[in-house]
Amino acid sequence: MSPNIQLNEDGSLRHLLSLDGLPARILTQILDTAEGFLSVSEQEVKKVPLLRGKAIFNLFFEPSTRTRTTFEIAAKRLSADVVNLNISASSQSKGETLLDTVANLSAMHADMFVVRHSSAGAAHLIARNVAEHIRVINAGDGRHAHPTQGLLDMFTIRHYKGGFHNLRIAIVGDILHSRVARSQINALTTLGCPELRVVAPKTLLPHEVEGMGVHVYHRLEEGIEDVDVVMMLRLQNERMQGALLPSPQEYFKYWGLTPDKLKLAKPDAIVMHPGPMNRGVEIDSDVADGEQSVILPQVTYGIAVRMAVMSILAGN
């Protein structure tokens, strides 16, 4: 097996677990493939037969609506058979181990697992213990990675800005608890973004942030000045331990993106958010629903990107 568990010995994608360590040619292959799938969603019959006969199991050990639904839609548009595991009623709730659950599902002739879990490394653990023919996609693990969200964000930026080599991009908000931010930073660095900023209160930045190749800002007004892209993040209140912030109202006052603050960015800057949004906390509704917002197109592109990942992993 290749030292990078995500790649086969010939360098092709075997699992998608993180964007860290994946070469630019793989990221570009996924984005290019997704371009071809955009039109499928616009057809009268929204299906192609690429994964006909394949069994895809969605294993969501954490709550999710947008990500789970778009994975399900993506798999069905590729004509796969999709099984959504009901975790609350699964054997995990009766004490079965994660690997025993996966082994039993593998015995039902699974071809691909899409895994979301609160523990970082859960998808890696599964990938190292499945049969050779089974593929694993990480749909978010703890604070670690959310690679398909990172890829759909790259797809959105490339769609609106044409590339990455002349851009100034700001990631704003709860960097500390965000697996999305880590995937975005990995992808943007690999794809050649020349100036990547992270903008957050000191309490919401990881200690290792200075070593991630980013510029750090603690004031929103300075961090988004003259940027091409503003990527807002959700406050991960469920992952916070202790009082890291005074109140949602004060956070919005200093860190919430309002129309007046957005004027500091370039006039054609786009605004992104991975959702779900906390309106009036991270972002003002006039920005979220405004002309510069590409938040809903992000959701649409997420289906095409996930179709691309599944198709490539299946060998198409």
Instruction: For the chain, give every domain's residue range.
Output: 15-145+299-315, 147-294
Predicted structure pTM score: 0.94
Answer yes or no: same fold for 15-145+299-315 and 147-294. yes
Binding-site residue numbers are 66-67, 94, 116, 146, 149, 179, 234, 275-276
We find that the CATH architecture of domain 15-145+299-315 is: 3-Layer(aba) Sandwich (3.40)
Dihedral, CA atoms, 151, 188, 168, 222, nearest 10 degrees? 90
CA-wise closest residue to 149 among 113, 114, 122: 114
Confidence of residue 62 (pLDDT cuts 50, 70, 90): confident
DSSP for 216-282? EES-HHHHTTT-SEEEE----GGG--S--SS-HHHHHHHH-B-HHHHTTS-TT-EEE--S---BTTT
Tens digits of residue pLDDT in 14-56: 999 999 999 999 999 999 999 999 999 889 999 999 999 999 9
Q: Are 151 and 307 in contact (CB under 8 A)?
A: no
Q: Does domain 147-294 have CATH number 3.30.930.10?
A: no
The Cα 278–Cα 150 span in angstroms is 20
Residue 70 has pLDDT above 70, yes or no: yes
Binding-site residue numbers for L-aspartate are 94, 179, 234
Confidence of residue 88 (pLDDT cuts 50, 70, 90): low
**10 CB neighbour count, 10 Å cutoff:** 7
Residue 94 has pLDDT above 80, yes or no: no
pLDDT for the residue 302: 97
Binding-site residue numbers for carbamoyl phosphate are 66-67, 116, 146, 149, 275-276
Confidence of residue 143 (pLDDT cuts 50, 70, 90): confident
The Cα 303–Cα 155 span in angstroms is 11
